[in-house]
Amino acid sequence: MSFNLRIYQQELAQLTPVYKLESLDLHIFESIPSTNQKIWSLIDLGNPLPIALIALQQTAGKGQWGRTWQSSLGGLYLSVAIECDLVLDDSFHLTMATTWGITNLLRIYGIPLAIKWPNDLILENRKLGGIKIETRTSNNKIQYAVIGVGINWGNSVPEIGINLQSYFFKKQPPSITSLEQLTAITIRGILSGYQHYLEIGSQQILANYKKLLTSIGQEVIVNNCPGIVTGVTDKGKLKVRLQSSGASTEISLSSGQISLGYLNQ
Ligand code: BTN
């Protein structure tokens, strides 16, 4: 398994330019604990941002909620570091902008991807990938953000997962033909999502993000009370309308308070 930088550069050159895409350096590693962890060390060395970094495999890939992200050969393990100027309270804006950016661009490639709140990439009701954002703050402002993305390309996946190569096996011809192309597209998706956010603002990005959510309308149980997901706030909370004995109340839940299952479960 290897990564051909020249193919990546050719693929990148074919994409419409976006926020600092051409000046972005890609660092490639064979096997490291975590691309998120490694990119922080490049930031600390003073590398100009944005930068991107991939590993062909990770030995301690970080998932959400302290989970491990299985990172065997064949998958995309990517981190992109950007400088930003966001108040801490708006950290969800990074999640929605970048998750929307990646999802929207892959949909342009004909892949019917959706988002499971807050930032799972869902294809055919299965998890194609996930995003783990880490930030560094100063004076209540987010100064640096690392957007870590894992997308299943040719790697083996758990039962709830799907990889793009098996999806394309059924849907010929493939619109993406290599890990290098997927890397270029994903980096562009992250940067264009962020650029879009800077240009059009959080409310419009939230509206775009909500259009791609699988979660709206989903039935959930909260503290033994049945409810229905009605939306997401721009702070990243899930809005749920609870119904009990004729009355209905709307509550907002953070991602630590509720976890949505997959729709076919
Ligand atoms: C999730 O749990 O859904 C998020 C998974 C994010 C995994 C990616 S792989 C590249 C980057 N480096 C890490 O250690 N984690 C993220």
Which tokens go with 148? Answer: 């870590």
Helix (H) or strand (E) holding 13: helix 5-13
- Global pTM reads 0.94
Which pLDDT score, from 0 to 100, does residue 18 have? Answer: 87
Contacts 24+ apart (CB under 8 A), 222-229: 222/251, 222/253, 222/258, 227/251, 229/117, 229/260
Phi-psi region of 180 (alpha: psi -120 to 50; beta: other; left: phi over 0): alpha
Pocket-testing residue among 51, 53, 62, ligand 1, by greatest number of atoms within 8 A of Cβ: 62
Ligand 1 pocket by C-beta < 6 Å: which residues? Answer: 34-36, 58, 61-64, 67, 69, 77-79, 120, 130-132, 148-150
191-246 pLDDT, tens digit each: 999 999 999 999 999 999 999 999 899 999 888 888 999 999 999 999 999 987 77
25-71 pLDDT, tens digit each: 999 999 999 999 999 999 999 999 999 999 999 999 999 989 999 99
- Report the candidate in 64, 90, 99 with the shortest Cα–Cα distance to residue 211: 99
125-177 pLDDT, tens digit each: 999 999 999 999 999 999 999 999 999 999 999 999 999 999 999 999 999 99
Task: Specify the ligand 1 atom closest to the Cα of 75.
Answer: 9
* Cβ atoms 40, 27 nearer than 8 A: no
User: Quick check: 20 pLDDT over 90?
Assistant: no
* Cβ atoms 227, 240 nearer than 8 A: yes
Q: How far, in Å, is the centroid of ligand 1 from the Cα of 129?
A: 8
Pocket-testing residue among 103, 123, 149, ligand 1, by greatest number of atoms within 8 A of Cβ: 149
Sheet harboring 120-123: ordered strands across? 25-32, 51-58, 76-87, 141-151, 126-138, 120-123, 114-116
DSSP 59: S
- In sequence order, the 6+-apart residues with CB closer than 8 A to the CB of 13 are none
Q: For a pLDDT cut of 90, what percent of the chain falls above it? A: 84
Q: How far, in Å, is the centroid of ligand 1 from the Cα of 132?
A: 5
178-188 burial, b at 16+ Cβ within 10 Å, e below that, comes to: bbbbbbbbbbb
Q: How far, in Å, is the centroid of ligand 1 from the Cα of 150?
A: 5
Pocket-testing residue among 65, 117, 119, 132, ligand 1, by greatest number of atoms within 8 A of Cβ: 132
